[in-house]
Amino acid sequence: MNQIKKKWFKAVIIAAVLLLSAACNKPVVKNESTQQTQKHDTAQNLTATPTVESAFTATTTENTKNPAAVNEKGNDITKKAVDNSAALLQAQQEADNARISQEQAEEKTAQQKAAQDTLDAAAKQAQANAEAKSAADAAAQSAKQQASLAAQQAQQQADQQAAQAAAQAQQEAAARQALIQQIQTECTDPINKLTQQILQLKADYYVKVQQIQTHGTESGTPAVFWQADINKLTSDTNNQINQLNNQAQQIKVSCSIKFPSTIPTALCNDGNYSYSAHDSGTCSDHGGVSVWYK
């Protein structure tokens, strides 16, 4: 008997739980007339329906009278309660599975968004790197062009300086050659000519002395007579040589004044030549150096 009571009590408790669960899950209707109708029905149900305790008491009394029927009825109620519980559990499991699927979908969406954000950030960084590289390449190209232009300008300047130096050297060489020619014309050639004349006078003198000696000896003329001729010839020749030497000396003095050295080292701005062996002080009293000859 106690076993039957326990089964029946368990079935009633399960049924009450199911009723309460259904009542809690029942949607609320906002329509005012519908709410009033539900309140009226609920009041009637409360009046007409016995409480769980009274039902349990009545049922317990009935169970005492017919245990087999009560046992069967309890089994049916228990089976229904178990079926309803399984349905509830299945519904709860489905709801949990739906919630888990929703969470997984949201997580997957968040992961996809994070991956897309990462790709966008990488694309932006790549774009920034490309722009930085482009700017660096442009700066390098500009620097290369500027360096090339500077090199060209430097080369042009060097070529101009080289051309000026070559022209200056050519001018100096021409001036040196002109000066040499002037010295040759005014000094060297006249002195050489006078020197040749002196040498020719001496050669003629020796020939004439030899002729006089030979003629006097062959003619038997006493030496005292033809010696006088030799003396006169010697005196005349020495006079001519002295005259030529004097002319050469005058030329040398004039050239030593005009050209103190064979080749001057510089041409001064006032037209005079300098034969200074050192650069310092050259043409200092003649307006400075116009052209260097060394």
pLDDT, position 208 = 93
The answer to the question of residue 240 being in a domain is yes
Q: Are residues 89 and 176 both part of a single domain?
A: no
Q: Which residue has the tokens 């050669």?
A: 203
The answer to the question of residue 233 being in a domain is yes
Q: Which residue type occupies 83?
A: D
Look at 260 and 129; give whichever has higher pLDDT.
129
How far is residue 291's CA from residue 285's CA, in Å, rounded to a whole number?
A: 15
The answer to the question of residue 46 being in a domain is yes
pLDDT, position 220 = 82
Query: Which of 68, 101, 134 represents a domain boundary (last residue)?
Result: 101
Check whether 162 has a pLDDT greater than 80: yes
Q: Which two tokens stand for residue 205?
A: 């003198």
Mean pLDDT on 10-29: 55
Query: Which of 48, 82, 101 represents a domain boundary (last residue)?
Result: 101
pLDDT, position 134 = 85
Q: Are residues 9 and 97 both part of a single domain?
A: yes
> pLDDT tens across 46-78, in order?
444 444 445 445 555 555 556 666 566 666 766
Which of the 8 DSSP states describes residue 262? S
pLDDT, position 52 = 43
Share of the chain above pLDDT 70, in %: 70
Burial of 241 (0-12, 13-18, 19+ CB in 10 A): middle
Cβ count within 10 A of residue 212? 19
Pairing, β 266-268 against β 289-292: antiparallel
Mean pLDDT on 173-191: 83
pLDDT, position 261 = 61
Check whether 42 has a pLDDT greater than 50: no
Domain count, the chain: 2
Backbone angles phi, psi at 49, to 5 degrees: -90, 130
The answer to the question of residue 159 being in a domain is no
Query: In terms of residue numbers, what domain contains 245?
Result: 166-259
Report for 8-12, 121-125, 270-274: range of highest mean pLDDT: 121-125
The answer to the question of residue 195 being in a domain is yes
pLDDT, position 26 = 45
The answer to the question of residue 275 being in a domain is no
Check whether 236 has a pLDDT greater than 60: yes
52-65 vs 67-183: helix crossing angle, rounded to 10? 130
Label residue 290 by pLDDT band (50, 70, 90): confident
To the nearest whole number, what is the mean pLDDT of the chain?
77
pLDDT, position 265 = 74
2-25 vs 52-65: helix crossing angle, rounded to 10? 150
The answer to the question of residue 42 being in a domain is yes
Check whether 204 has a pLDDT greater than 90: yes
The answer to the question of residue 128 being in a domain is no
> pLDDT tens across 241-285, in order?
999 989 988 987 888 777 766 666 777 889 887 878 788 888 999
